[in-house]
Structure 1
Amino acid sequence: MKKALIGMLSLIMVFTLAACGGSNNGNNTDNANTGGEAAGDKKTKLRVYAQYSDEDTKGYYDYAVAELAKEMPNVELELEIQAQDDGQKLKSYAATGNLPDIFNAGLDQINVFKKSNNILQLDEYVEKFGFKDKMQPSAMNTLYADDDHVYAFPYAGNEFILLYYNKELFEQNGVKVPTTKEELLTAIDAFKGKGVTPMSIFAKEKWPCVALYDVFATRYNAKGISALDSGEAKPSDEAYTKAAQDVLDLVKAGLLPKGATNLNYDQAAALFHEGKAAMFLNGQWEVEASTKALGDKVGYMYYPAPDAASYEKNKLAFSGGGNPGGFAVSANTPDKELAAKVASFIALKYAEFKYTQKGSPIVATKVDKEVTKQFDPMMVTLSQDIPKITSTTAFAWGLSNAKFKAAIEDASQALLSGGYTADQFVGDLESALK
């Protein structure tokens, strides 16, 4: 009887162990079927490489993590703080096969990691998770790389060059907000006659000089300097020679303050903020500072064009732009779909935080939540313009042809000095592109 009892107990233990083993196998199968999301209390850990160095960057990450916990409670993120080293640490990780599952990547890292097969191509996940449908139409250039593939989920949208103006100065001096070159020349004469600087610019830095040229180039060719950078257009094309001549004509008419190429930002901004200059050229990041200084007196105008027809045609073609970048996924992550799903979710939440809590509409994706920090009035206008923007170009620092970048920076600055001709400008750019 003892032997029989022992035998029966042994059989019971075998069946119990088999049942437990079957249950574990069932969980593993569920994980595979759900793209790797763990079942029950088990958590899937993913290494994330992201900025977390100050209150601003911490806010973005903390918000995304809190939202992720609600949406995917079985995913745990292990944060590794992004080094401020132009991506060198990330490149070292790639070289040693130690890339985090998800990492914040710019265009430089994307281009390097594409060649070494370290970055996951995300085309199928952009479609599968509906991320493409959530993109701002005007920000598609931040999603697709030059080879028409996706390597990162973007959250930062395009940035723009704005032509700010002091509404009060225009009204007090009876000056019409210019829409054409002739109207701008008229405005220059009117302001000079009143002792007001028509436009301030910190041309000691070269990129604003390039931006001013690009503003007028977009009135002829909406792609502006980006078409020159890519080789789609030549500096000797009519659009670009006319743009150079427009800038030169305006400079000679007195558009800029004396010694403009020696003015830094603080000096140039002070002229505008103190009501001594009627207009100011800078990126949209100037909105907060100019609003603080001038309140509801400040606004931005659409760039003047050669004539009324081209003004209407290219009114929403903006100078400025952005590059592909955002949250990327390692090609060697164990569960590619889960990592891609989490990366896309984080990108959406970063954009959401920027839009709703930082008071900025400069995001790559659509946001349908109410804002908690109200936009400045100009940001309200810009948020309404962004979905309608027809094209963007590039900032000088985003140009891919290094020789052309150096040449157009030098030539644009020289153009603003007044001692340089449009032919010299075109010739120097042609030489650099050869």
Structure 2
Amino acid sequence: MNKWKKLTSLALVGIMAGSLAACGGAGGSGDSGSSGSESSGGTESGAESSSKDSGEKVKLNMLFNDTDENVQAEMAYVMEHLPEVLPDVEVELEMVPGDAQTYETKVRTMISAGGDGLDVWWERGGSWATPILESESALPLDDYLEASGYWDKVIPSAKLPAEDGHTYSVPFEDISYEIILYNKKIFADNNLEAPKTVAELKSVVETLAKTDIVPISVGAKDGWCAAMMLEGFAYSLDPEMTEKIVNGKAKFSDEPYAEAANVMKELLDMGAFSKNVALTGIDEALPMFETGKAAMMANGSWAVASGAEKMGEDFGYFYYPVIRDEDVDVYGKNVAGGVKQNSGMMVYAGTEHPDEAAALCEAVAELRCKYVYEEKGNPFTVYKAGDLGWTYDSDFAEPVAQLAEDMQNFEYVYGLVQDVMPTAAASSGIMQATSKFMTNTPDYTVDSYLEDMDKAALEE
């Protein structure tokens, strides 16, 4: 495996549980052996055969993070309909309140204690999943997903295996991509068009900087918002650059990110962002855009549905402009985002019912996605809604429908930079360096920034 250290025992997962409370972020991949792989597929050994043998329902314990009312509603729907999909399985759901660190610490604590009361759980993926995969605590799901026909139901980019080539999670989270939101009315009032090149973007910024409207709103205080901008520009030069960095085959100081950092520096010097942008969080940046105080906003596609609802016909989005004018033909074809690696429903490697647990993972993922599509009007799921006969009783807003169509045709997709760094410490370092860079102080140059990014990428 690569340079990231392999943890070799479940005891070390317990140690990680204690350290998780002191670090955040996401990203990365892991290496796992073949523990349990022989029983992870094949329909003959599924829930039906096990229940027939015992004459009783197979009982499984499932863990989920209770983060808000939306999650509660989604899981209520899932639990209501699970008996229709898995009639021979009885599921005990435990909803764990608290933030990411609280929840992930509980998962690791249960695993280090022998997995009692844990068959299936939702895993955040990225660096959160690294110690789980490296300790071989998650069951490979390849055989089961092939046998169940899962891959025929989902978009191609849903297939994002771990570093060792195995699939350990069944994704169900909304699919998100790096985009720039814009206010169509402000653009029309100033005779502007959505830019496809950085040169065109600079021209837009130059025009807007002469008004009382903030050209680009970004939550630089949170780090990841500005880091996504950097990645978005770098993608136009080499869409595989982030993946190369994660795999240790490139550096942030190499050309794509270096040129992207220079673009960001130029935008800072032009007054493209709000005053004290490095102190502006996402909770301030979003209202700034939605109320018309900013013409554009660096955000993810998760903001499209709500933006279209709040702003109506004034809402629009565009993809990251290309740095070189001659590359305009690749505009919008390669987009950072998509399925987060190793994120979704996982099966504990020591479960007594691997096939039933794998079936439960797929059922939970599909039911959750069906709920958000049909009940919430959210088409940004890994599932091919049309092929599955899912319907929404209203019309999708035009930007929502357009993005849902676009995402079927992206040529290259890889996770957001804040989600894919190999360790939580690396992700945190990237965010901190980016926030510092956005202060635009003379003593923190582009070279200083890139050097700190390279150091952060190596953090364990």
Q: One fold, TM greater than 0.5?
A: yes
Alignment RMSD, CA only? 2.8
1: distance between equivalents of 2:112 and 2:311? 51
Post-superposition offset of 1:254:
2.2
Query: Structure 1 residues 415, 253: CA separation in 2 closer, same or farther (over 3 Å shift)?
Result: same
Match of 1:136 in 2: 155
Q: Secondary structure at the match of 2:236?
A: coil
Match of 2:369 in 1: 351
Superposition pairs for residues 69-218 of structure 1, below 5 Å? 69-84=83-98, 85-97=102-114, 98-107=116-125, 110-141=129-160, 144-218=161-235
Q: Secondary structure at the match of 1:81?
A: strand
2: distance between equivalents of 1:159 and 1:337? 30
Is residue 2:61 matched to residue 1:47?
yes
2: distance between equivalents of 1:358 and 1:415? 38
Query: Structure 1 residues 159, 314: CA separation in 2 closer, same or farther (over 3 Å shift)?
Result: same
Contact 2:155 2:384 in 1 (8 A): yes
Query: What runs of 5+ residues in structure 2 fail to find an aligned partner?
Result: 1-43
1: distance between equivalents of 2:371 and 2:67? 17
Amino acid at match of 2:140: Q
Match of 2:28 in 1: none
Is residue 2:378 matched to residue 1:364?
no
Match of 1:323 in 2: 341
Query: Structure 1 residues 164, 96: CA separation in 2 closer, same or farther (over 3 Å shift)?
Result: same
Q: Secondary structure at the match of 1:318?
A: strand
2: distance between equivalents of 1:109 and 1:206? 19
- When normalised by structure 2's length, the TM-score is 0.79
- When normalised by structure 1's length, the TM-score is 0.83
Query: What runs of 5+ residues in structure 1 fail to find an aligned partner?
Result: 1-29
Post-superposition offset of 1:146:
1.8
Match of 2:447 in 1: 423
Q: What do residues 2-22 of structure 1 show as CA deviations (whole Å, max 9, x unaligned)?
A: xxxxxxxxxxxxxxxxxxxxx
Rg (Cα) greater in structure: 1
Contact 1:316 1:391 in 2 (8 A): no
Match of 1:36 in 2: 50
Contact 2:421 2:457 in 1 (8 A): no
2: distance between equivalents of 1:31 and 1:181? 56
2: distance between equivalents of 1:399 and 1:117? 20
Bigger shift: 98-107 or 47-56? 47-56
Amino acid at match of 1:218: Y
2: distance between equivalents of 1:169 and 1:265? 21
Is residue 2:431 matched to residue 1:409?
yes
2: distance between equivalents of 1:32 and 1:198? 56
Match of 2:82 in 1: 68
Contact 2:85 2:363 in 1 (8 A): no
1: distance between equivalents of 2:213 and 2:67? 43
Contact 1:357 1:373 in 2 (8 A): no
Q: What do residues 244-270 of structure 1 show as CA deviations (whole Å, max 9, x unaligned)?
A: 111112221221122211223343333
Post-superposition offset of 1:127:
0.7
Query: Structure 1 residues 105, 167: CA separation in 2 closer, same or farther (over 3 Å shift)?
Result: same
Match of 2:408 in 1: 387
2: distance between equivalents of 1:246 and 1:352? 41
Contact 1:121 1:149 in 2 (8 A): yes
Match of 2:350 in 1: 332
Q: Secondary structure at the match of 1:100?
A: coil
1: distance between equivalents of 2:158 and 2:293? 35
Post-superposition offset of 1:167:
0.6
Match of 1:284 in 2: 301
Residue among 324, 327, 332 paired with 1:310: 327
Q: What do residues 115-153 of structure 1 show as CA deviations (whole Å, max 9, x unaligned)?
A: 444322211101111112222112323xx2121111221
Post-superposition offset of 1:111:
3.2
Residue among 268, 273, 278 paired with 1:251: 268
Amino acid at match of 2:75: Y
Q: Secondary structure at the match of 2:220?
A: coil
2: distance between equivalents of 1:106 and 1:305? 31
2: distance between equivalents of 1:373 and 1:334? 44
Query: Structure 1 residues 249, 347: CA separation in 2 closer, same or farther (over 3 Å shift)?
Result: same
Amino acid at match of 1:177: A
Post-superposition offset of 1:416:
2.7
2: distance between equivalents of 1:404 and 1:81? 29
2: distance between equivalents of 1:318 and 1:276? 27
Query: Structure 1 residues 86, 68: CA separation in 2 closer, same or farther (over 3 Å shift)?
Result: closer
2: distance between equivalents of 1:51 and 1:413? 29
Q: Secondary structure at the match of 1:86?
A: helix
Contact 1:161 1:319 in 2 (8 A): yes
Post-superposition offset of 1:109:
6.0
Post-superposition offset of 1:174:
0.8
Post-superposition offset of 1:34:
4.5
2: distance between equivalents of 1:270 and 1:156? 24
Post-superposition offset of 1:289:
4.3
Q: Secondary structure at the match of 1:88?
A: helix
Paired positions, count: 403
Q: Secondary structure at the match of 2:50?
A: coil
Contact 1:203 1:209 in 2 (8 A): yes
Greater fraction of residues in helix: 1
Contact 1:48 1:100 in 2 (8 A): yes
